[in-house]
Structure 1
Amino acid sequence: MLLEFSVENFLSFKQKNTLSLVSANIAGHEEDNVFTINDYELLKTAIIYGANASGKTNLIKAMRFMKNMVMLSSKESQSGEAIDVEPFKLSIDTHDQPSEFEIIFIYKKVLYRYGFTVDSQRVYQEWLFYLPNNQSEEIELFERRFENETETISLAKPFKEGEIAKTLKIRKNALFLSVAAQLDDSGIAGQMMEWFRNGFKVLFALEPDAYENFTLKKLKEPDDKQDILRFLKAADTAIENIEVVDIQAQNLPQELPKGLKGFLVSSAKAVMTEHRLFNNKGETVSSVLLSMTENESEGTKKLFALSGSIIDTLKNGEVLIVDELDAKLHPLMMRFILNLFQDKETNPHNAQLIFETHDTNLLSPRFFRRDQIWFAEKDPQGATDLFCLAAFQLEQDDSVNKDSVYKTDYFQGRYGAIPLIGEFALAF
């Protein structure tokens, strides 16, 4: 379960900004969207609004960077490579300073607070604290610092024991946590790696192949396949069945080189959807197979691509972050997906969904509490500021209440985070 994610000096984020899924003490709000774990009241969903180029996607890129850094930095293939991190470039104070990332989450009833600072050349700081369920104060597990050309790593139990304690010389572009997880995959570092790998999913609208491949893997499991089919039927796609078939040689262009054609035949797959075939009386007489790529709508293709990640997240109580979730989807499809996460019956394990969108139909107290609604806005110097709608009530007594029409107030600029459109005329 995600509590907080913070980023500083990365892409459009100059100052430290934090997205929190810890619920605020807001009177008059339904509690359906809140759950309790380890005495924390957390939110099931969070939605982020803002103008184009306001930094919404950059927040999700920051989450993906942190995940990839944890997952990949210890691999030998990364040795000697520059770290692909991009600091805020519109200030002379930040462009040569390291970027900072920190995350707080609960996994298997243990709270972890983990973070690091990096630039393109090295890791400068790295820290890990945890709070077991029976403790009242968090405990430091390790701290790593690079100062005055010297690196130090201080360890506490259980990192002070075994093979991990011998690993005090870490590549400058690798994370200590990642190396520790390789040495002890059953310990705390291994548990954290497991959460980053499986429990913290980050998806981008412009990269559908990545999450579609995950769905294709799920189709190989009978139970998962049935869940995917039920999901697509509930979404009114009229798909009765899905089959993944090998691409046959006769379906490929004849002019392809023989070697390339052989490679494609051995590795390429086609997703086929089964639909009912009707007679002129509207009666089902048979079925027909259609190509997902050629015959299904863009919305259906996206629902299919997302279905594996959505279902896996719900079944396992994980965290799903999606950039531009509403792209190509009907507003009712957005409500359908949102309800899956906010309904106790379809989300019994309290999975969490975070997404950014321009769909203002969802900007309503019917769907979200104020502490679930976030805005991203750039200041005059180009730096992103991330803030929550709940803050407005704290600043202006009851200026935003349950009966307010959030959508109207948003378009009127009451919350900010909207484009400031100027005049334009063609030059003749």
Structure 2
Amino acid sequence: MLIEFSVGNYRSFSEHQTLSLEAADIASQPPSLDEHNVFAAGDTLRLLASAVIYGANASGKSNLVSAIGFMRRFILNSSRFTTTDRPINVEPFRLSTATEDQPSSFEIVFLVDGVQYRYGFDVDRQAVINEWLYRLGTIRETTLFTRNRHEIKVNHRVFREGRGLEERTRPDALFLSVAAQFNGPIAQQLMKWFAALRVNTGVTDPEDMLLAVNRFDENPYRSIIEELIRRLDTGIERLELERIPLATDIPPDAPEEVRQFLRRRSRERVRIRTYHQVFDDHGLPAGSIAFDLGRHESAGTQRLFVLAHPIVQMLEQGGVLVIDEFDARIHPNLAIELIRLFHDPATNRRHAQLIFTTHNTNLLSAKLFRRDQVWFVEKSRQGASNLYSLLEYRIDGKIVRNDASFEKDYILGRYGAIPFIGNLRELLGVTDVGSEEEE
């Protein structure tokens, strides 16, 4: 379970910014939101089932998702794939001379099997500058290890698995990743949590579709995914994965070594067939017809197929799902129903959490979200992204009421985080609006 995520000096984020999923002590209207959208994570900690992030284009919403994705990938891969002659793929804030040579910072507070950890690191293109791991005890945090460049200090009493690995850790690799590679039980447990963290980078990432297609045939939740797509009014009755061999023609008289080479070059292509009902002249069912998901189905249906697996997986297993442009190409009514699956204790028994960005103001409703679930990203005049919640926002010194019209007030600019467009008529040579009406 995710408690909070922080990032600094990464892409459009210059200063340290924090997204929190810890529920505030507030009352919502209707009160049912406080029961459905919040769950207990221990005796005193209460967490949110979802968080929605709004902002203008290029405000930094996607960069926040990218920051979570970078942290996840670097943790999982730094000890295996990074080499000393290859720069680390991190991007600092580039619009300030004060930050261009400084490391990027990432920190996450999360729960694993009821235990709270705080882990983070500072990294630049060449090396890990700082790294730390703490575990919350009954009274205060316990240090498991800290790192300052080459100096790694391990608490051997509580993190015995780190003993002797200091010298085995490259400057461009995370100590946590190295400890997990050497089968450290705590490190492996944390790595498993990060591996289960799902980050969907939006409609522009073709890898999401490839992953969804290739995993569909052996997906343990295949029947649930098919039923979900059927109920979302796509017109699809069932789905099938089809494997198409791309075998190379092998001349019968070719030498054996040539035949083996050509066999190795053989590949197969996989695709999803969607089946729709066919009707006769009287409007009665007359069988079904197969379509190709990638060629014949709408972009919205394809998007639903991509999102179906991670959504069902999280609801069935628990975990954290982060999605950029969640409702892109999806009807608002469908998006609302998918969000409600995370807000319903009956369908979200494992306390899965959904974090997503969107431009769709139809979702911005006090009947769907609590004030602490709504976040905004706005850029300063210096091009730096600032992240803030609706809960902490003030209008004329007053907090936003729990029964306010979130959507209307946001569109009117009362919460900020909207585009400032200016007069586009001037681009077409129209400078005097009144003269046109007088004529």
Q: Structure 2 length normalisation: TM-score?
A: 0.88
Query: What displacement does 1:161 show?
Result: 2.9
Tell me, yes or no, if the aligned pair for 1:218 and 1:225 is still in contact at 8 Å: no
Which residue of 1 is the match for residue 387 of structure 2?
A: 386
Instruction: Identify the match of residue 140 of structure 1 among 139, 143, 146.
Output: 143
Residue 234 (structure 2) pairs with residue 237 (structure 1): yes
Task: Choose 1 or 2 for highest CA Rg.
Answer: 2
2:179 is the counterpart of 1:176: no
1:3-82 maps to which residues of 2 (within 5 A)? 3-29=3-29, 30-31=33-34, 32-38=36-42, 39-76=44-81, 78-82=83-87
Query: What letter matches 2:154 in structure 1?
Result: L
CA distance in 1, matches of 2:315, 2:205: 20
Deviations along 1:375-404, one digit per CA (max 9) or x if unpaired, are 000111111110000012598335x21221
Distance 2:246 2:147 in 1: 56
- The change in CA–CA distance for 1:176 and 1:395 in structure 2 (over 3 A counts) is farther
For the residue of structure 2 that corresponds to 1:311, the secondary structure is helix
Query: How far did residue 408 of structure 1 move?
Result: 1.4
User: Which is worse superposed, 407-416 or 95-104?
Assistant: 407-416
Secondary structure of the 1:229 match is helix
> RMSD in angstroms over aligned alpha carbons?
2.4
Where in structure 2 are there 5+ consecutive unaligned residues? 248-259, 430-439
Partner of 2:102: 97
Task: Please give the alpha-carbon distance, in whole angstroms, between the structure 2 residues aligned to 1:28 and 1:212.
Answer: 38
Match of 1:122 in 2: 127
Cα offsets for 1:78-134 (capped at 9, x unmatched): 3431111111111111110111100001111111100000110111100000125xx
Which one of 189, 195, 210 corresponds to residue 197 of structure 1?
195
Cα deviations by residue, 1:57-89 (Å, 9 ceiling, x for unpaired): 111111111011101110155343111111111
4+ runs of 1 displaced by more than 6 Å?
261-265
Which secondary structure does the structure 2 equivalent of 1:385 belong to?
strand
Name the structure 2 match of 1:156. Answer: 155
Question: Any residues of structure 2 matched to 1:259-270 within 5 Å, and which?
Answer: 266-270=267-271
2:333 corresponding residue in structure 1? 332
* Other-structure match for 1:349: 350
Deviation (angstroms), 1:300: 0.5
Residues matched between the structures, number: 412
Structure 1 residues 208, 99: CA separation in 2 closer, same or farther (over 3 Å shift)? closer
**1:262 to 1:300, Cα distance in 2 relative to 1, 3 A:** farther
Amino acid at match of 2:147: R
TM-aligned CA distance change 1:340 to 1:273, over 3 Å: same
Shift of 1:214: 3.6
**By how many angstroms is 1:171 displaced?**
0.9
Deviation, 1:249, is 5.6
**3-state secondary structure, aligned to 1:237:** coil
What is the CA–CA distance in structure 1 between the aligned matches of 2:355 and 2:292, rounded to whole Å? 31
Aligned residue identity for 1:188 = I
Identity of aligned residues (%): 41
Match of 2:320 in 1: 319
CA distance in 2, matches of 1:202, 1:94: 27
- 1:139 deviation in Å? 1.0
Residue in 2 that maps onto 1:272 = 273
**Secondary structure of 1:13's aligned partner:** coil
Choose which of 118, 128, 146 in structure 2 pairs with 1:113: 118
Distance (whole Å) between structure 1 residues aligned to residue 219 and residue 387 of structure 2: 42
Equivalent-residue separation in structure 1 for 2:329 and 2:374 (angstroms): 22
Cross-structure match for 2:252? none
Distance in structure 1 (CA, Å) of the matches to 2:125 and 2:177: 18
* Equivalence for 1:219: 216
**Shift in alpha-carbon separation, 1:404–1:222, aligned structure 2, 3 A:** closer
Call closer, same or farther: CA 1:63–1:333 in 2, change over 3 Å: same
Distance 1:208 1:309, change over 3 A: farther
Q: 1:395 to 1:423 in 2, by over 3 A?
A: closer
